[in-house]
Every structure is written in C-alpha cells, then in structure tokens.
Amino acid sequence: MLLTTSLQKVKGVGPKTAEQLAAANLHTVGDLIDFLPRKHEDFSEVVNIADIHPGKMTIRARCEKIATRPVRRGLRITTATLVDDTGKLQAVWFNQPYRTTQLAKADEEFFFSGEFEFNYNKYQLSNPSVEKASEMPVNTDRLLPVYRAIKGLKSQLVRKILVEIKPLMTMLPETLPASVVKTEKLLPRSDAVLGMHFPKTPDDVTAAKERLAFEELFQLLLASQLNKLDNAKLEGWHIPFDQKIVADFVAQLPFDLTGAQRRAAWEIIQDFEKKTPMNRLLQGDVGAGKTVVAGLAARQAAASGFQTALMAPTEILASQHAETLSKLLQPFGVNVGLLTGSVKGVARKTLYEQIASGSVAVVVGTHALIQETVKFHRLGFVVIDEQHRFGVKQRQELLTKSEYMPHLLAMTATPIPRSLALTVYGELDVSILNELPKGRKPIETKIWSPNSQAQLYAKIDAEIANGRQGYVICSLIDDNPDNEIKSVEAEYKKLQNSIFKHRKIGLLHGKMKSDEKDDVMSRFASGELDILVSTTVVEVGVDVPNATVMIIENADRFGLSQLHQLRGRVGRSSHQSYCYLVMSDSSKPSQRLKEIERSNDGFYLAEVDLKLRGPGEIYGRSQHGALNLQIATLSDTKLIARAQKQAKAFAVNGADLVQYNQLAEQVGKYQRLTTLN
Ligand code: ADP
Ligand code: MG
C-alpha cells in the first residue's frame, strides 16, 4: 500500500463505499490520511450506572426495554431502560423513534453518551448519542475521533478503513525542515497524524494539533516571506518626489486631506523613490477617501512622465473614477482616459493610440485594460481598486504590461483582519486609512420588520423632501440571477406606480446595457433621480454623497461585509445618514445583522466576519481557493508568532526547498495565491 493507492483497493472498501468517499473528494489512501477528525469525543471516562451523578457522562450498557409513544402532535418520546452490571437507568430521546430498532438487540452492548438530568419529573439520561461498543476500539484508544460527515457513510466505517491504513501512517515522510521540528519541539509528522486519528490521551491530540497547525502556518508565512524576497530582487521605475507638484495638487482639492490620507500618500511617494517596486495595500473603511490618495500618487507619476493604470471591478465604478480623477488631474494638464467594454469602434481605436503614445497619462478601466491589444507607455504605477474582486492572474496580467515591474497599489474597502494580514499578506506593506473625513456622522442602522414597510417609505420620503436621495437594494431571492432582476424590476414598478408616484425613480441592475447603466448612474449622481432601486451592482465604490438613506430588502440574505459595503454608499457627506435592514420574515435577526446594526467599524466587522465564517469562506471564493486551514486558527497569535519567526529565519538563510518536496509544493501554491504581483 502506498499513499497513492486507490482507496478502492483497501480492505473493507467496496465499490459503493469508494464512490461515497470519492464524492467527498477522498480518492487515495493519502487523501484519507489527510482527512483529519473535526473533533474528539472523550469516551475514556466510562462510569458505572451505580456511580452516576447529574452532568455529562458516558456509560456502557445494554438496552433492556425500549418503547416509543406519541405525546402530542409533533412530539414522540422514546424511553429505554439501560442496564450494566451495577444497576439500571432510564434514557429518553425526543423524536428519534429509530432508536427502538437500533437498540432492540438485548444482548448487544452500546456506549451512551449524554447528560444525566432532571427531566419529566425524574432523573434521566437525555438524548444520549449511541455507538455500538463492538465497533469501538475501547481497550486501546478511548478518545474517539469524529469526522466530518460523508454522505451515506457511517463514521464507524471511516474509522475501520483508517485502521486498515494505520501501518502506513507510521512511516509518513517528514514535511517540515528537521531543524524547525527540533527547535520548536514539534512532533514528527507521522506521530502527529497518528495522534489525530488514534490518540490515546487528550495530550496526544493537543500535541498533534500543535504540530499540524504550526505546519499550516509555517507554509503560509514562508510563502509570503519568499514573495517578499522575490519582490526585493525586482527592479522598478524610479519616480522622484517633487514637493511642488504634490503641494499644488493638495492646494486645489476642495477639502483638507485627513491625517491618515496624508500618511498613506507620503508612504506611497516614498516607495516611488525606491529601486524596488512598491507592493502596497491601501486599506480604508468605506468612504475613507482612497481615490484621492491614488489620484495624488498618479499626479506625481505623471509629472515624471509615467503612466498610471487604474483597474476597477465594474463599469459603473470605472467611469465614476475616470470622472473623479479627470476633475482632479485635468487642471494640471494630465489627461485621463476611460477604457471599458462599452468603448467601441473608432473611439476605442483612438483611445488605444492615445494610451500607446502616452498622451493619455492616466488610464482608468475595467478588466478591458488587460486585453492584449492595449499597449501602455512607460506604465509606472498600477492601482487596483477593490482588489479582492480580482483574481491573482488578472492583477499579474496588468503588471506584466510594463517593461519593468510597476509600482503597485492595491486598494480595498474590506479591511483584512490583522491576523489574516500577517499570515496571508505578510509580504505586503500596508497603509491604513483609519480616519473618516471631517464632519461625517455615523450611519444610523436599524433592523426592520417587513410588516412595517410603510413607515420606512415615509422616512425615505422625508429625506427626499429635505433635498436628499436614497437607495432601495433588492437581493437575490434565490441563487438564480434572473430572479434577482425580476425582484428588482418588480420593486421598481411597485414603488414607481404607487408609493413614490410623486418622486423620480431609477432602476439599475447588472444586466442592463452599459450606456443605460451610465445614464441612470449619472442621473442619480446629478440629483435628477430621487431614488435608485438597484441590485448589489452599487455595492462597490459608488459615490453619491447626497444619498443619505438606504433600504436593504431581504437583508438576512447578505453577508456581513457585503452589507457593510452596501451601507457605505450612504454616509458620504456631513448629512446624517440612515440604513434600514429589512428582514425577509419576522424570525429572529441573525448575529450578523445584529453586529452590522451595532457597528459602523469595518475593521471590527471584518474580525467578526472572520470569526463567524472562517477565512476560507471569506477569502476563499475570490482568490484564496486553497487557503483552507484545517487545524490552525488565526486567533492563535502565539503560534503564528512562532511560525513567523521560523519562516523568516528559514527564508533569510536562503532556504533550500528542494529537499522538501511536499513543503515546496504547498508553499509554491500559497505563493501564487497570495501574491499581489
Ligand atoms: P472610498 O475610500 O470608499 O473609495 P472615496 O474615495 O470614494 O472613498 O471617497 C468618498 C467621498 O469622500 C468622496 O466623495 C470624496 O470626494 C470625499 N472625500 C475624500 N477625502 C475627503 C476629505 N479629506 N474630506 C472630505 N471629503 C473627502
Ligand atoms: Mg472606492
């Protein structure tokens, strides 16, 4: 048997079982070895019935009598008499009639694990879980691993298969450098894996977890260390700082920059002067004013004869940025061009020429920018707005459009929790806009019951009467995007034909033609429209400061950071803004909704989101497909620090990864996934 042996060949695995395993992505012996238990149940303290007292416990007993009876509609109670050599005990289950057949064999022994408590007027064992005693390796390993459920497969069977392949677990190759294992006093990989699947004591599990979590973090941190070293070897463009250029730009702004904006801009300009290309993440909460920081840097780049490319995830956002930057830069004779899918024919050809000749110095666009036909001219500065919306490949494609590696500024309004920033983006320099422009008031957020919609509409109407504007956001009703369009169109009709007959309403969704979208957006931005009924296409970036109220329908269907992003469309001026989260029904609001109602702080909400969903869920879909930490938790800062120290040392010593096949492979994967350039 080898790690690569198909599970089908293992004793006890029939074709049907193999199929079920394959459906859970378990194909080889190695796959199953890596299928680590999700937790361990402690069956080590089996008590005699004569000795029990209230609380959680496990007994080993036979079932003497069992019966199920209906108590009332929807409730069936199963009661059993359990016996061991020392006494008898009542057990009770609610709505689990199958226990009657499961426990029918009077001579079979089972483990019952549950809470012994006062219930229905007597002490009983309530809802205990049940395992056949014969199916558990009671005498040697009493700590029972519990695996993630595999459809159709009993966990007992998984454990049995693991017993078959146990011999192989004792000879797993070491995946960490020997020196690291030694200095950190970690278990060898084999022992750790055995400790997870076949622990003898809780300490075995603890030590196994420590080793495996360390390994995961080490790989991740080593990847970012190596990325950092790679980046330091690159040669970039030198863009010298010109104080007058910057001062003139700042002087013509209609507002004072915040302290945080100044600091971020200064950090960028200093990076411009270095030999190695900038690799910087600009994190700022929604509305913190990232665009103007990028604009200032683009001004400096243009003054030294360098082109800037700014890529945004949607057409709406790209055209809005082009307009904003044009206003900021045109006065200095810096031309801004907009390249999206909807620029066609002659206009597109002309734009290509202007970009290639450098007469357009700042090119704003969607992923149209990375098309092969686009030729840049001394592309020295690349800005990626809402960077988490892009894949690694798209970012890289844009960067390779320059003869040298351009300076990179990735902007994101979805703050990355510290622990994640350290592990996943450890290679990056980070600037943080932790200060909102002066005079902003926190947005008032309220969870709203669908039954009192009328009051909400009255609130919007009052805002409009005051000269303000509002958004009504409609969600996916299910996963079908066509239904999302239906729901937004229906809402639009309803509001326009009755409730807001006297107001001007616009409709916006992703399937509209881009000139229609542009038209609606600019009518909303200019104040001609009072209300914009929209899907989440406005989620990212859209900036209409006069809009002060937002209704989010079916708010419970959105994720936490998505809600925060959406809400960020209001609260962009000194006027008080409001956000109403309308529930789909009158059930209890989720933790998610309560958190968003409670806090306006994107950094706090990102931490909460990370806790509620885990990193894989948050950062998984978009770019970190393989970032699935099985054992490590990002809240384990002590272990992160230890792994960080070792990864740094290993990288600096010119680590020779060649000797460590498996490590090299995993690290390489992480390097590709987490790098920004
Ligand atoms: P985000 O960080 O969400 O991308 P934007 O760059 O869109 O934010 O800026 C939000 C709004 O705040 C814009 O209307 C912008 O003009 C304005 N703004 C930016 N900086 C300041 C400032 N220092 N003082 C006042 N308003 C500002
Ligand atoms: Mg923005």
> Residues of the chain with pLDDT > 90: what percent?
48
For 132, half-sphere exposure in the C-beta direction (CA atoms, 13 angstrom radius) is 13
Measured in angstroms, how far is the CA atom of residue 644 from the centroid of ligand 1? 36
Q: According to the model, what pLDDT value does residue 298 have?
A: 98
pLDDT band at residue 138 using 50, 70 and 90 as cut-offs: very low
Provide DSSP, 322-387: HHHHHHHHGGGT--EEEE-TT--HHHHHHHHHHHHHTSS-EEEESGGGGSTT---SSEEEEEETTG
Measured in angstroms, how far is the CA atom of residue 541 from the centroid of ligand 2? 4
Distance CA 40, CA 412 (A): 39
Measured in angstroms, how far is the CA atom of residue 303 from the centroid of ligand 1? 23
Nearest to 332 by CA among 254, 266, 252: 252
- Cβ(355)–Cβ(375) below 8 Å: yes
| 310 alpha carbon, closest ligand | 2
Output the average pLDDT for the chain. 87
CA angle at 371 for the pair 367 and 373, rounded to the nearest 5°:
145
Measured in angstroms, how far is the CA atom of residue 398 from the centroid of ligand 2? 19
Residue 267 near ligand 1, beta carbon < 6 Å:
no
Q: Which of 263, 292, 386, 387 to mutate to test the pocket of ligand 1 (most atoms within 8 A of CB)?
A: 292
Instruction: Pick the more confident residue, 616 or 216.
Output: 216
pLDDT of 202 strictly over 70: yes
3-state DSSP call for residue 203? helix
Distance CA 414, CA 287 (A): 11
Section 633-658 average pLDDT: 81
Encoding tokens for residue 272? 């411009």
Q: According to the model, what pLDDT value does residue 674 have?
A: 67
Selection from 391-395, 502-506, 560-564 with the highest mean pLDDT? 502-506
Q: According to the model, what pLDDT value does residue 131 have?
A: 80
Q: Which residue has its alpha carbon closest to ligand 1 atom 4?
A: 290
Ligand 1: atom nearest CA of 572 is: 11
Name the strand (E) or helix (H) holding 36.
none
Q: According to the model, what pLDDT value does residue 513 have?
A: 86
Distance CA 512, CA 314 (A): 13
Measured in angstroms, how far is the CA atom of residue 533 from the centroid of ligand 1? 23
3-state DSSP call for residue 453? helix
Encoding tokens for residue 311? 């890529």
- Cβ(568)–Cβ(540) below 8 Å: no
Distance CA 240, CA 246 (A): 12
Section 287-294 average pLDDT: 93
Q: According to the model, what pLDDT value does residue 43 have?
A: 67
Distance CA 278, CA 406 (A): 8
| 327 alpha carbon, closest ligand | 1
- Cβ(643)–Cβ(193) below 8 Å: no
* Model pLDDT for residues 546-593, shown as the tens digit of each residue: 999 999 998 988 888 889 989 999 998 999 999 999 998 888 899 889
Q: Which residue has its alpha carbon closest to ligand 1 atom 20?
A: 289
Measured in angstroms, how far is the CA atom of residue 628 from the centroid of ligand 2? 29
| Burial readout 506-537 (b: 16 or more C-beta within 10 A, e: otherwise) | bbbbbebebeebbebbeebbeeebbbbbbbbb
Ligand 1: atom nearest CA of 288 is: 2
Residue 286 near ligand 1, beta carbon < 6 Å:
yes
Lowest mean pLDDT among 224-228, 243-247, 526-530, 564-568: 224-228
Q: Which domains does the chain have, with CATH numbers?
A: 45-141 (2.40.50.140), 243-273+288-412 (3.40.50.300), 444-599 (3.40.50.300)
Q: Which of 293, 296, 389, 543 to mutate to test the pocket of ligand 1 (most atoms within 8 A of CB)?
A: 543
Measured in angstroms, how far is the CA atom of residue 573 from the centroid of ligand 1? 9
- Cβ(469)–Cβ(525) below 8 Å: no
By residue count, the chain amounts to 677
Pairing of strands 279-284, 407-412: parallel
Section 261-288 average pLDDT: 92
Q: According to the model, what pLDDT value does residue 476 have?
A: 62
Instruction: Pick the more confident residue, 135 or 304.
Output: 304
Q: Which residue has its alpha carbon closest to ligand 1 atom 22?
A: 437
pLDDT band at residue 620 using 50, 70 and 90 as cut-offs: very low
Alpha carbon distances (Å) from 4 to 28, 89, 173: 5, 49, 13
Alpha carbon distances (Å) from 463 to 468, 471, 526, 545, 577: 5, 11, 17, 14, 9
pLDDT of 67 strictly over 70: yes
Residue 572 near ligand 1, beta carbon < 6 Å:
yes
Residue that has been written with the tokens 């040669």 in this structure? 235
